[in-house]
Amino acid sequence: MKRIALPLLFPLFLAACTVGGGVPLEPVPGSITYHGQPRTKLTKSPIGSTFEHRFKDGPSREVFETYRIEPDRSLAIIHRRVRINYY
C-alpha cells in the first residue's frame, strides 16, 4: 500500500512547492512603502539589488522586510519575517 500511495502523493507535494508568482506582500505600518513609494528615487543602486529594513510593530514584535529595487526604481517587498520577543 505504501509503495502505491507515495508515487500518487508526490505530484501533490510538488504542486505545493511554488516559486514566486504569489500574491505580493502588502505594506504594514512601519514599512518603507506604507504610505506609497518614497519620493526619492534610488538612482545609484543597481536594479534588482535588495536590502533589509528592520522595525518594531508593537512592544514585542520585530519585523524584518527585504526589498528589491524594480526597473522603474520603485521598491517591492519580497520577504517579510516577524519575530515575537517573549520576555
Given a cut of 70, the residues of the chain with pLDDT beneath it are 1-22
Residue type, 57: D
pTM: 0.70
Residue-level pLDDT at 81? 96
Q: Determine contact, residues 77/33, Cβ cutoff 8 Å.
A: yes
Residue-level pLDDT at 30? 93
Q: Determine contact, residues 49/57, Cβ cutoff 8 Å.
A: no
